[in-house]
Amino acid sequence: MKYSKGFTLIELLITIGILAVLATVVVLVLNPAQLFAQSRDVQRISDLGTTRAAINFYLSTATTPAITTALRSTAQTSCGVGTCAVYNVYTVTGDGWVAIDLSGATGGSPLATLPQDPTNSGSIQYSFEGASSTLLYEMNADMESTKYIAEEGNDGGNAPTFYEVGNTLAF
């Protein structure tokens, strides 16, 4: 009597079918597009927090702090604070999308370069507004994921469709 070792075609097809169903369920449950969008949103929150800390350090340590009155963004003219001039520049000398010369802080700029939005296209960008007379500023970012879009309306600012940080959220 001859015994063959291996799987029958039916067994292989059933196994492949089960694996396909499991893979589909995993993809639907995890939703990788939302996970990537959440990752980019976390980066935006971190970038704006770091930039806010650098600006606040500059404002508290510079001999005569100055903010250029400006509306700037990184990708397009329509931005969270109005109609912005596009500054796709990431220098910390006031020529970038943040209109503050951070190199004037005690010990130099706390940032080597300004952060760039992970997507930086369309409305998904960083924007900045500053007022020279009051030394007030606000930075905005547009979130992508459903999880963080809800945060846009809960940040204390006046724009419910943008995540806002700064020493004022009323621009």
Burial class, 8, CB count within 10 angstroms (exposed 0-12 / middle 13-18 / buried 19+): exposed
What pTM value is reported for the model? 0.83
4 found inside a domain = no
26 found inside a domain = yes
2 found inside a domain = no
Q: How many residues does the chain have?
A: 171
171 found inside a domain = no
Mean pLDDT (10-residue bins), the chain, 171 residues: 77 94 87 93 97 96 90 86 86 94 92 95 91 93 93 90 93 84
Q: For the chain, what is the domain count?
A: 1
Q: Which helix (H) or strand (E) holds 17?
A: helix 9-30
- Provide the domain limits for residue 39: 9-166
